[in-house]
Amino acid sequence: MIDRRYGSEARRLVLATMSIGKALVLTISDSAAAGKREDLSGPEARKILQESGFDVSAAEVLADERADIETRLRRASDEGFTLVVTSGGTGLSPRDVTPEATLAVIERNVPGIADLMRIESLKITPKAALSRAVSGIRGSTLIINLPGSVKGVRECLAAVKPILAHAVETLKQSSLNCGES
C-alpha cells in the first residue's frame, strides 16, 4: 500500500498514522515487579500488538495487588487507551487477582473474547481451562487478560488477532451503523 520509493522513515510515519489505536501492555507479577525476574511476557505482547497495527508506547509492570491493578486500568481508560492487555495473575494461586480487578472496572463484559482464547488454547493443552481471564469494556477501552507465560501470550493473541481491529473499530462506532445488515 505504501510506495517503496519513500524509504523506511516515511513508511514508519505513515504506519504510525495508520495505527488502529493506542495500546497499553501491563505485566502483572509480584516477582517481575520486585525485579526478581525479567518480564518476558509483556515485551512479547507488545511486539505482537505492534505487528497488528497498534501503537504500543510502553510495557509496564505491576505487582499482584488488586487495588493497584484496578487503579491503573481505570486511569488507562481515562487516558484514552483503545486497548489494554494484561499478562499474568489469571491462574488459581492465592495472589492471582487480575480477573477480579478487571471485573471491578469493566462496565460491559465481552465473554466471547476470553472464551475464544480458552477454546483455542484448549486445542494445545487442557490446562488452558484454568485460565480465569476475562475481557470487557470500560468507556471506550477494551481490556483483555492474557496468561503470564510467553507461550500463553502468543497462543491467546494469535486466537484474538483476527478480531482485534474490528473490535476496537466497533467500540468507537455509533450503534446505528453496527450489526444491522
**Which span sits near its own copies by CB under 8 A: 18-26, 51-59, 68-76, 86-94?**
86-94
Residue 154 CB partners (closer than 8 Å, separation 6+): 44, 48
Shortest distance (Å) from residue 53 CB to its own copies: 17
Handedness of CA 47, 52, 58, 63 (dihedral sign): negative
Our CB check for its own copies shows the closer of 15 and 60 to be: 60
Query: How many angstroms separate the CA atoms of 175 and 150, rounded?
Result: 36
The angle subtended at Cα 173 by Cα 132 and Cα 52, nearest 5°, is 55
Which of 21, 24, 99, 143 lies at the binding interface for its own copies (CB under 8 A)? 99
**Cα separation of 69 and 3, whole Å?**
43
Asked if 61 and 27 count as a contact pair (C-beta separation under 8 A), the reply is: yes
Range 44-73, binding its own copies (CB under 8 A): 64
Task: By CB under 8 A, name the one of 56, 100, 123, 156 that touches its own copies.
Answer: 100
3-state secondary structure of 168: helix
Query: Of the listed pieces 7-15, 44-52, 53-61, 147-155, which binds its own copies according to CB under 8 A?
Result: 147-155
For its own copies, the binding residues (CB under 8 A) are 29-32, 36-37, 41, 64, 88-97, 99-100, 108-116, 118-119, 122, 126-132, 137, 140, 142, 147-149, 152, 160, 162-163, 166-167, 170-171, 173-181
